[in-house]
Amino acid sequence: MPNIAEARGLINSSDILFSAEEVDAAVDRMALEITEKLSETYPLVLSVMGGAVVFTGQLLPRLAFPLDFDYVHVSRYGDKIHGSELVWKQAPKEDVRDRVVLVLDDILDEGETMAAIRDKVMAMGAKQFFSGVFANKLIKKDKPITADFIGMDVPDRYVFGYGMDVRGAWRNLPAIYALK
């Protein structure tokens, strides 16, 4: 975790990729797409802690249909900028058997975390699995999963803001930034 001067230095030397208004419009669009697809299924929505907390908190009030809510806590990053071994801190507490499950995460980077969550949820007996990510990173290699709902595509750079952190800081930004 950087100190306050280092954290301010990170943002001051970064590029803004998407404004708060663009982020908000992307969440509005996603809410409509999710509502169209899942409004008659009474899904169980699982938020991936901690990155998806901002995105989930903004998206859920825009979903005008009944749902159950829970979370999972899986991490590959910690406070690092490169993924490492997958660590399960909390599996779903809610029973997923015979449920339509929508998992929300901040970013689909290489897709390893979301694919592992899909595999676990399906092994627990879910009827159907959907994934929604605020940011889909455009990388040059194939991913083991493609998100069903995507807020916005982001370039293959280290992005942060709107729930995504840089060295533990700046999850609270309403816009999306990228390190230079």
Domain at 56, CATH number? 3.40.50.2020
Write out the residue range of the structural domain in which residue 136 sits: 4-179
pTM of the model: 0.91
Q: Identify which of 71, 123, 83, 88 has the alpha carbon closest to the alpha carbon of residue 107.
A: 83
Is-cis flag, bond preceding 57, omega within 30? no
- Tell me: the pLDDT tens digits for 3-24? 999 999 999 999 999 999 999 9
**Mean pLDDT of the residues in the chain:** 92
Mean pLDDT of 54-67: 97
What percentage of the chain carries pLDDT values higher than 90? 82
Farthest CA pair distance, the chain: 50
Element (H, E) at 45: strand 44-49
State yes or no: pLDDT of 86 exceeds 90: no
Residue 117, pLDDT score: 94
Q: What residue type is 88 in one-letter code?
A: W
Spatial CB neighbours of 79, under 8 Å, sequence gap ≥ 6: 1, 165, 167, 168
Residue 161, pLDDT score: 97
The Cα–Cα gap between 36 and 27 comes to 14
Mean pLDDT of 35-48: 98
Query: What residues form DSSP beta bridges with 15?
Result: 178
The Cα–Cα gap between 92 and 118 comes to 12
* From 41-45, 48-52, 88-92, 113-117, the region with the lowest mean pLDDT: 88-92
The Cα–Cα gap between 19 and 25 comes to 10
- Tell me: the pLDDT tens digits for 90-122? 878 778 999 999 999 999 999 998 999 999 999
Q: What angle do CA 28, 10, 2 make, to 5 degrees?
A: 110
Length of the chain equals 180
Question: How deeply is 67 buried, as exposed, middle or buried, from its count of CB atoms within 10 A (0-12, 13-18, 19+)?
Answer: middle
Q: How many domains does the chain have?
A: 1
Element (H, E) at 24: helix 20-38
